[in-house]
Structure 1
Amino acid sequence: MITLINRFEVTGAVDEFERVFDGTSAFFATQPGFIRHRLLRPLDGQGHYVNVSDWEDEPSFRRALQQPEFAAHRAALRALSSSDPRLYTPFLERVPS
């Protein structure tokens, strides 16, 4: 499994960013290898978001990015925000015993 963590700084209208991102999330949810997604926003205000999504593997994630339909999602998000995406692999996980 890999995890995408993508930090967004919204430069456009926050409500429009949330609407556009919802559509992007729905697109990814239909892609092979997609496991789950969460969009987080800080408690102290709007304008910064963190996207956390889990994928079966890196090739699945990369294939989703190459889908022609994703180009419109990418363009819409870039028009409303800047982002810093990075892929991670699990290293340590602990749950209550």
Structure 2
Amino acid sequence: MLVVTRFVVDGEADDFVRRAHAALGALAACKGYLRGRLGRAYDDPAHWSIVTEWESVGAYRRALSNFDVKVHATPLLAQSLDEPSAFEVLAESTPGGDLKVTTSDRA
């Protein structure tokens, strides 16, 4: 599962980056977390994203109730753009060109 959370950061980004690092650290400590990245748009440096990957939607939802996540990640995530952020992975390719297609878990 992918979680793509986008932000528009007005002004100095140092505080946002510090808080994003803390959020990634709190999320990374949770069961089911696979990886996470903080990125900034090349074309407009006010636009940022945090992308995390999880074993399942359940693992992500359980992580959101973790105390450290509530302290370090939730306040930051609350400032994200109001748009869908959780995505199920339906196809994945490898550097060799192999494509793995999966069916949706949605009912």
Match of 2:15 in 1: 16
Runs of 4+ in 1 over 3 A off after TM superposition: none
User: How much has 1:82 moved relative to structure 2?
Assistant: 3.1
Greater CA drift, 41-50 or 53-62: 41-50
User: How much has 1:11 moved relative to structure 2?
Assistant: 3.6
Match of 2:27 in 1: 28
* 1:94 lines up with 2:100 in the alignment: no
More helix by share: 1
Larger Rg: 2
Structure 1: tracts of 5 or more residues without a match? none
**Are residues 88 and 82 of structure 1, via their aligned partners in 2, closer, same or farther at CA, if it must alter by over 3 Å?**
closer
Give matches, 1:1-97, under 5 Å.
2-11=1-10, 13-73=12-72, 74-75=74-75, 77=76, 81-83=79-81, 84-97=83-96
Higher relative contact order (CA 8 A, sep 6+): 1
CA distance in 2, matches of 1:62, 1:51: 16
Taking structure 1 as the reference length, the TM-score comes to 0.81
More strand by share: 1
Q: What is the CA RMSD across the aligned residues, in angstroms?
A: 2.0
Structure 2: tracts of 5 or more residues without a match? 97-107
CA distance in 2, matches of 1:66, 1:41: 27
Aligned-pair identity in percent equals 31
Letter in 2 for 1:65: L
Letter in 2 for 1:32: K
